[in-house]
Structure formats: C-alpha cells, structure tokens
Amino acid sequence: MTDDTMAIAHMEGIMARAKYRHTGIIIDPTARATEAVALAMKEFPGICSYGLAAGHSPEAYEIPWDGTEIELSIEFLLTCKKIKTPTYSSYYMKHVVENTVHRYIGNGEFIVACIALGFTVIPMGGWGGSPNARIGISKRDTRLHNQGQRELRH
C-alpha cells in the first residue's frame, strides 16, 4: 500500500464520521476532486495549483491538479468550523494541513477544497497580486491542530 493510498484510507474514516455534522456543503465531500476543481474554476477562473494565479506564467496552468491533495484538504476541513469572516491565508493553512497529514499540499488544491465545502474564500491583493486567499476558518480549530491536540485519526 502506497503512502497516498494509506493517507486516503486514513481520511475516509474521518470523512464518514464528519460528513453529517457540517452544513452548507456545496458538493458531497466524497465527490471526485475533478468536481471540486470545476466548481472552483467557475468562481475563480484563474485558479491553478499555485493558487489564485493571476500574473503567473502560462506554465503554471500546465501543472496537473493533485486529486489526493484536494481530498486530504477536504478531510482536514471537515474537522474545522466555517466562519464568515476570513481569518487565515490559504498559504498558512496549507502548511497546517501538511503538518497534520504529513504530506505536501498545494496552495491551489487547498483553495479548491475550501471552495468545494463552502468556506469563505477572499482573494488577497486583488487579481494582479497574490496567489493566496483569506479563508473563513475557525481560529480555535486551527490552534488545536497546531498544538497537536487534534489529529486526524482512524
């Protein structure tokens, strides 16, 4: 079993438990990552694996989406409360996810997962600037993940 397969299997248990305690989910969290990407591209046509990629080179759009990173991000987000006011940057939060799932997560993949689950996503610095977004995610949940008190378990 590969690391990716183990990580996905690990997250499926969490997803099954968390699926029904969140409201406002735009797509079923078990939907394929391609559906999440399509939804995100409707809202932010310039999104790519780097993030909200206005100003990036054309090569940035040629990098394929990583479905495992999107699915792991969705699983992580199912353990967090959505709030209306954006609190943290997507770039900061992708590192919180990486520390939790012990795997690289792309900024764009994390933003896609946020959009798919209905989290508030606000571009930082306008379309000509930052690839990052502000995400409406509970500071309390983020602190718990950072302190290691809340790990994703089988």
Q: Where are the domains of the chain?
A: 3-146
The pLDDT, as a whole number, for residue 145 is: 75
pLDDT in tens, 128-148: 578 899 999 998 888 877 776
Smallest Cα–Cα separation from 24: which of 111, 133, 120? 120
135: Cα separation from own chain's centroid: 10
- Over the stretch 45-78, which tens digit does the pLDDT of each residue have? 889 888 886 566 777 778 888 889 999 999 899 9
Check: CB of residue 60 under 8 Å from CB of residue 99: no
Q: Poorest-confidence range of 10-24, 89-103, 134-148?
A: 10-24
